[in-house]
Structure 1
Amino acid sequence: MRIISGEYGGRKLKTISGLNTRPTSDKVKESLFHMIGPYFEEGHVLDLYSGSGALGIEAVSRGMDLAYLVDNNYQSVKTINENIEITKQPQKFIVWKEKDGIALERLRQAEETFDLVFLDPPYGKIDLEKTLSKLIGYKLLKEQSIIVCEIDKEDTITLQDDSLELIKDKIYGTTRVIVFEKVTR
Structure 2
Amino acid sequence: MTLRIYGNRALKTLSGKDTRPTQSMVREALFNMWQGAIAQCRWLDLCAGSGAMGAEALCRGAAFVVGIEQSSRAGSVIEQNWQQVAAEGQSFQLIRGDVIKKLPTLAGQQFNLIYFDPPYASELYQPVLDAIADHNVLSANGELAVEHHPKRSNFPTPAALEICRQKTYGNTALTFYQLKS
Query: What's the TM-score, normalizing by structure 1?
Result: 0.88
CA deviations on 1:38-59 (whole Å, 9 max, x unpaired) are 5523221110100011111111
Q: Distance in 1 between the 2:157 and 2:15 partners? A: 37
User: Aligned to 2:163, what secondary structure does the other structure show?
Assistant: strand
* Number of aligned residues: 178
Please say if residues 45 and 67 of structure 2, whose CA atoms lie closer than 8 Å, have aligned partners that are also in contact: yes
Q: Distance in 2 between the 1:147 and 1:88 partners? A: 22
Aligned to 1:136: 133
Distance 1:151 1:17, change over 3 A: same
CA deviations on 1:103-124 (whole Å, 9 max, x unpaired) are 112112xx31111111101111
Aligned to 1:83: 81
Offset at residue 18 of structure 1 (A): 2.2
- Answering whether residue 151 of structure 2 is matched by residue 164 of structure 1, we say no
Structural mapping, 1:1-185, within 5 Å: 1-4=3-6, 9-37=7-35, 40-89=38-87, 92-108=91-107, 111-184=108-181
Offset at residue 89 of structure 1 (A): 3.8
Whose strand fraction is larger, Structure 1's or Structure 2's? 2
Offset at residue 129 of structure 1 (A): 1.9
Distance 1:71 1:146, change over 3 A: same
Query: What's the TM-score, normalizing by structure 2?
Result: 0.89
CA deviations on 1:118-170 (whole Å, 9 max, x unpaired) are 11011111331221111111111110211010011210143343432222211
Please say if residues 45 and 114 of structure 1, whose CA atoms lie closer than 8 Å, have aligned partners that are also in contact: yes
User: Aligned to 2:8, what secondary structure does the other structure show?
Assistant: coil
Distance 1:116 1:88, change over 3 A: closer
Q: Distance in 2 between the 1:36 and 1:171 partners? A: 16
Unmatched runs of 5 consecutive residues or more in structure 2? none
CA RMSD of superposed structures (Å):
1.8
